[in-house]
């Protein structure tokens, strides 16, 4: 059995289409969508439409849930964050989904998805971890954390996403995998990343695939869709993340909070000057590649 796992599409339709074309050539038996189809990129509605039939095997991502929070005027913060122009991308994307009548689809998405075949190691999918969709698997994952997670959520193979960085580790009989991101990788390689799991006599074997796509077309959609104009500063930052295949939003917000700065265009320009090394050119390859490790 071969299962393709995609995640963190984030409204990037050209990246999704390139990955789905590659998946079609891989003779997989199933497709799992591991959260965060929405926001960041300008084609959230089109992404949900493209994956409509696949959402029967999908999990809820934190940005998907943000769409519901915005529509319901609720959220993780005490202040009215939906009135902050910085988060205009969330409002724009949520409005597009609401007008398309697709918010109900998000309401039905579960936090976890399990595949437990007779005689095979049990797979447990979650956008972050089963404990929280913002607890991503990455280099800070310790054996103690793996033990805590598997004790509360028994499974042999944990598959997460969220961090936008592919990852693989093991502890004892447990394997932990991060799929990487289709629409906004943060590892300096701006190809679309996804995962294939193949069941063999030795268990589930991962294959990390990286697929080139039309990045220029994805960037152009920020303007032609109206998102860049309506989304405010966060839309500009999300666009830069696709250009450089690196995380900018969270480091920028942390820098602003630490220094007591307002989230403004001037602050963003200063951030780019002060941390110029973060904006180095990304890896660009016209070829599909795959490997058993990230």
Residue 111 lies in a domain: yes
Q: Residue 157: which pLDDT band, with cuts at 50, 70 and 90?
A: very high
Q: Residue 155: which pLDDT band, with cuts at 50, 70 and 90?
A: very high
Q: Do residues 109 and 59 lie in contact, with contact meaning Cβ atoms separated by under 8 Å?
A: yes
Which has the minimum average pLDDT: 71-75, 173-177, 263-267? Answer: 71-75
Q: Mean per-residue pLDDT for 62-66?
A: 96
Please provide the average confidence, as pLDDT, over all residues in the chain: 95
CB atoms within 10 A of CB 50: 16
Of 68, 248, 85, the C-alpha closest to 76 is 68
Q: Mean per-residue pLDDT for 186-208?
A: 97
Query: How confident is the model at residue 77, as a pLDDT?
Result: 58
Q: Which 3 state secondary structure label does DSSP give 164?
A: coil
Of 234, 241, 242, 244, the C-alpha closest to 268 is 234
Query: How confident is the model at residue 83, as a pLDDT?
Result: 81
State yes or no: pLDDT of 151 exceeds 90: yes
125, β-bridge pairs: 113, 159
Which CATH number covers residue 127? Answer: 3.60.21.10
Residue 254 lies in a domain: no
Separation CA 196–CA 202 (nearest Å):
15
In angstroms, the Cα distances linking 155 to 48, 122, 150, 287 are 29, 5, 6, 35
| Number of structural domains in the chain | 1
State yes or no: pLDDT of 175 exceeds 80: yes
State yes or no: pLDDT of 279 exceeds 80: yes
Domain containing 11 equals 2-214+283-291
Q: Residue 121: which pLDDT band, with cuts at 50, 70 and 90?
A: very high
Residue 239 lies in a domain: no
Q: What is the DSSP letter of 95?
A: H
Separation CA 196–CA 30 (nearest Å):
10
Residue 69 lies in a domain: yes
Which has the minimum average pLDDT: 13-17, 56-60, 256-260? Answer: 256-260
Query: How confident is the model at residue 137, as a pLDDT?
Result: 98
Residue 229 lies in a domain: no
Residue 97 lies in a domain: yes
CB atoms within 10 A of CB 139: 8
Q: Mean per-residue pLDDT for 146-153?
A: 97
In angstroms, the Cα distances linking 210 to 39, 199, 238 are 22, 20, 20
For residue 258, give both structure tokens: 């630490």
How many helices, marked H, and strands, marked E, lie in the chain? 11, 10
Query: How confident is the model at residue 199, as a pLDDT?
Result: 97
Q: Do residues 123 and 5 lie in contact, with contact meaning Cβ atoms separated by under 8 Å?
A: no
Q: Do residues 196 and 25 lie in contact, with contact meaning Cβ atoms separated by under 8 Å?
A: no
Q: Residue 79: which pLDDT band, with cuts at 50, 70 and 90?
A: low
Residue 243 lies in a domain: no
Residue 270 lies in a domain: no
Q: Mean per-residue pLDDT for 19-33?
A: 97
Separation CA 133–CA 127 (nearest Å):
5
State yes or no: pLDDT of 76 exceeds 90: no
For residue 106, give both structure tokens: 């998000």
Q: Which residues of 111-131 are buried (b: 16+ CB within 10 A; e: fewer)?
A: bbbebeeeeebebbbbbbbbe
């Amino acid at each position: 059995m071969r299962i393709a796992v995609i995640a963190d599409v984030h409204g990037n339709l050209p990246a999704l289409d390139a990955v789905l074309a590659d998946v079609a050539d891989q003779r997989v038996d199933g497709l799992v969508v591991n959260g965060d189809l929405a926001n960041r990129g300008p084609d959230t509605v089109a992404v949900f439409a493209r994956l409509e039939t696949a959402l029967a095997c999908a999990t809820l991502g934190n940005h998907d849930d943000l769409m519901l929070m915005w529509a319901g005027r609720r959220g993780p913060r005490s202040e009215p964050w939906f009135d902050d122009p910085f988060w205009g991308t969330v409002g724009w994307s949520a409005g597009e989904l609401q007008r398309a009548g697709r918010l109900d689809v998000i309401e039905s998405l579960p936090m976890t998805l399990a595949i437990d075949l007779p005689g095979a190691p049990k797979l447990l999918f979650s956008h972050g971890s089963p404990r929280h969709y913002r607890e991503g698997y990455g280099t800070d994952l310790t054996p103690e954390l793996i033990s805590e997670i598997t004790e509360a959520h028994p499974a042999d193979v944990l598959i997460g996403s969220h961090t936008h960085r592919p990852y693989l580790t093991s502890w004892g009989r447990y394997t932990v995998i991060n799929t990487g991101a289709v629409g906004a990788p943060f590892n300096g390689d701006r190809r679309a990343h996804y995962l294939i799991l193949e069941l063999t006599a030795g268990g589930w074997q991962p294959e990390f695939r990286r697929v080139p796509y039309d990045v220029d077309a994805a960037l152009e959609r920020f303007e032609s869709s109206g998102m860049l104009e309506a989304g405010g500063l966060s839309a500009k930052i999300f666009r830069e993340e696709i250009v450089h295949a690196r995380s900018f939003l969270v480091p920028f917000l942390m820098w602003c909070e630490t220094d007591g700065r307002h989230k403004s265009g001037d602050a963003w320009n200063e951030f780019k000057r002060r941390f110029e090394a973060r904006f180095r050119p990304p890896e660009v390859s016209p070829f599909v590649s795959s490997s058993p490790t990230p």
